[in-house]
Amino acid sequence: MTRLLDIPAARTLRTVDDLVKAGLAGDARALEGVMAAYATAISPAIAGLIDRADAADPIALQFVPSVTELDVRQEELPDPIGDKTHEPVEGIVHRYPDRVLLKAVSVCPVYCRFCFRREMVGPEKDGNLTPAELESALAYIRAHPEIWEVILTGGDPFMLSARRAAALTRALEAIPHVKIIRWHTRMPVADPGKVSAEFVEAIRSRTKAVYVAVHANHARELTAEARAALGRMADAGIVLLSQTVLLKGVNDSVEALADLMRGLVEARARPYYLHQLDLAPGTSHFRVPVEEGQRLVRELRDAVSGLAQPQYVIDIPGGVSKAVAALSDVDTGADGKRLRGRDGIWRDYPARG
């Protein structure tokens, strides 16, 4: 494998010129329109994983801009899961009764080319909450005792400094009805050194349950450094979950999914969601048909431990809820129920009711 970090300078790649110098862009002019429309950042940790000799490298596909992103389909939406529809105050998304999203920042260490918030994130969006907006968001949470869980997202909330992350944790700790603090992040994969002992201490809580959901899509993302970052959190008592997006050319095989899910479990992160790709603009080249996703998930269920099984879900456009997309192993007919075994054979189930 040819690794980008064989090149001496290691810094985040953000411009067309950066990509050209790194050997990641052939036709620079063709990429200018894409990069003007959607933010680009490829961290050294991610850039070092890219096999530049492989045109179909699964890491490159996720992060290197492509002209195919300018192909926007009629069904694609700028806000595919309805964040704005459910935003009572700036920075809060209240879609489900007992939990809210708190979007403190709009920037990320890397920008995934399939991101469902790609119209809303990036350094040029200036969407980071001001101190007044953050206080307003916290006031909303305080005023709604039904909120049991706060999910910190963005952007990537691990972009916060340890000091600001600690202040946010302490503010949420002070709200009696909030019992769960959950952080969603790409940082352990994108810049594992940022998940320092100081930062881990900043997000720990002695009064609330803290969860971190790490986004990983391919087993090669789980480097030794990434596993060490996850280990620092697990050792501190933080519960680790994972989120994965089903992507054509990246993880749309049983083998790729099995390797990833086993790797996550080995790193003490429990597979949580496998997302059907949202209908974000310019992402159709990544989309796996739902029927193919259902087949993959069924075969994965037959192939790996129950510990390594994510829940296959589709976010209903508009933000109604998630729909569970996996095929059932229970069939109900006029003569009762049948159960499908790991061998694919359906067997009658004698119990009634």
CATH number for the region 84-320 comes to 3.20.20.70
Active site residue 315: yes
| Gap between the Cα atoms of 228 and 234, Å rounded | 10
Q: Pick the catalytic residue: 103, 113, 117, 232?
A: 117
Predicted local distance difference test score (pLDDT) of residue 245: 98
- H helices of 25-116, in order, are 28-37, 44-47, 58-63
Active site residue 95: yes
Predicted local distance difference test score (pLDDT) of residue 4: 37
Predicted local distance difference test score (pLDDT) of residue 333: 80
Predicted local distance difference test score (pLDDT) of residue 265: 98
Residue 263 vs residues 100, 217, 280, 299: alpha-carbon distances, Å: 30, 11, 28, 18
Predicted local distance difference test score (pLDDT) of residue 119: 87
Q: Is 315 helix (H, G, I), strand (E, B) or coil?
A: strand
Predicted local distance difference test score (pLDDT) of residue 125: 67
Range(s) within the chain of domains with CATH label 3.20.20.70: 84-320
Q: Pick the catalytic residue: 14, 52, 99, 208?
A: 99
Q: Pick the catalytic residue: 103, 112, 156, 312?
A: 112
Q: Pick the catalytic residue: 278, 287, 298, 312?
A: 278
| Gap between the Cα atoms of 146 and 136, Å rounded | 17
> Taking Cα atoms as reference points, which of 190, 312, 317, 184 lies closest to residue 251?
312
Active site residue 96: yes
Predicted local distance difference test score (pLDDT) of residue 122: 85
Predicted local distance difference test score (pLDDT) of residue 28: 74
| Gap between the Cα atoms of 135 and 130, Å rounded | 9
| Gap between the Cα atoms of 318 and 79, Å rounded | 8
Q: Pick the catalytic residue: 95, 113, 118, 298?
A: 95
The dihedrals phi and psi of 160, each to the nearest 5 degrees, come to -65, 150
Strands (E), the chain: 92-96, 99-103, 149-153, 180-185, 209-215, 239-245, 269-275, 311-315, 322-324, 330-333, 336-340, 346-349
Active site residue 117: yes
Contact criterion met (CB below 8 Å) for 126 and 106: yes
Along the 353 residues of the chain, how does pLDDT read in single tens digits?
434 333 434 799 999 999 999 999 877 778 999 999 999 999 999 999 999 989 899 999 999 999 999 999 999 999 999 899 999 999 999 999 999 999 999 999 999 999 999 988 888 766 689 999 999 999 999 999 999 999 999 899 999 999 999 999 999 999 999 999 999 999 999 999 999 999 999 999 999 999 999 999 999 999 999 999 999 999 999 999 999 999 999 999 999 999 999 999 999 999 999 999 999 999 999 999 999 999 999 999 999 999 999 999 999 998 889 999 999 999 988 778 999 998 989 999 987 65
Contact criterion met (CB below 8 Å) for 137 and 102: yes
Q: Pick the catalytic residue: 142, 322, 337, 338?
A: 322
Predicted local distance difference test score (pLDDT) of residue 120: 86
